[in-house]
Amino acid sequence: MSKIYSATFVWLSVLFLLGFCVSVEVRADDPKPEEIIAKHLDSIGTIEKRAAVKNQMAVGTGQFSVLRSSVNTKGKRPLGGAVFISEASKIFIGAKYDVIEYPFDEIVYNAKSVGVPFDSSGNRPILGNIISAHSYLVSEGLLGGSITTAWSLFDLESHQAKVKSGGKKKVNGRQAYIITYTIKGGSSFTIKLFFDAENFQHIRSEYQQVFAAPMGPTMRDSAQQNQTIQRLTEEFSNFKMVDGLTLPYSYRINYLNEGNRNSEFEWVFELKEYTYNQKIDSATFEIK
């Protein structure tokens, strides 16, 4: 018995040491968040090229789809025009779909507050409702990533956010480094940013909030309740270099509300052109 115990102890010790060595190697191989961010910025363009951009405009098409809903008609809405205009931290995002039940999306940030207009029926569009509840996604410079000059990682110091390594995960078949992003003062969403492990392009942002299952009037009713998960995901792809800057030309937003009442919505933007340092009317960023 003592020989068996001794042999087992030796093998366990060897396995432990092997596991320890492997784990140390993985940790040592992962770059620090600051290194990931620096390489990400370099993947967009040189510091000189980035600094030369005072304002930025991206134009293309947008399409809104209802994937799951108990109150909205499922299906894709007509393809419409879309524009992303930014100047420093100011942002204007607009899309028109030419359909009565969902005519447009519009988000404005004037560097002080976020504005989302109501439609003719007195309601905010679905994306507008989400942003109204989580306006820090815009004011923090997260929504839209590098499609706008307001991208938080262009000037992380001014936002005073905390970033930590979140390991690695496959995204659409490619390994990606994860950075957890904590806004100064906190936020209702937990925030994760994903960067391609080979070229350090920002390919995804995930924002998630979990609500505990509500209590029912009886134990049986409580047992039938589910926790609610709200998840907003941004995906960036189809990167192209134009005028020395490499930016995403495909942008997808997915919003999932999963719990007792499930709903899922999606916005897909295909950008055709970026232009820089144009004359922009100051009224563009006015909140009406």
Query: What tens digit of pLDDT does each residue of 1-49 get?
Result: 444 333 333 333 333 333 433 332 334 578 999 999 999 999 999 999 9
State residue 227 phi and psi, 5-degree precision: -70, 155
Closest by Cα among 123, 232, 129, 241 to 187:
232
**CATH of the structural domain 31-285, one choice from 1.10.8, 2.60.40, 1.10.3470, 2.50.20:** 2.50.20
| Residue pLDDT, tens place only, 85-114 | 999 999 999 999 988 889 999 999 999 999
Under 8 Å between Cβ of 143 and 247: no
- Reported as a pLDDT band with limits 50, 70 and 90, residue 169 is very high
Structure tokens given for 182: 């904590």
- Per-residue pLDDT at 216: 59
Average of per-residue pLDDT values in the chain = 87
Closest by Cα among 88, 60, 105 to 280:
88
- Nearest 5 degrees, angle CA 92-CA 277-CA 159? 55
Q: What is the mean pLDDT of residues 151-170?
A: 95
Q: Is the pLDDT of residue 51 over 70?
A: yes
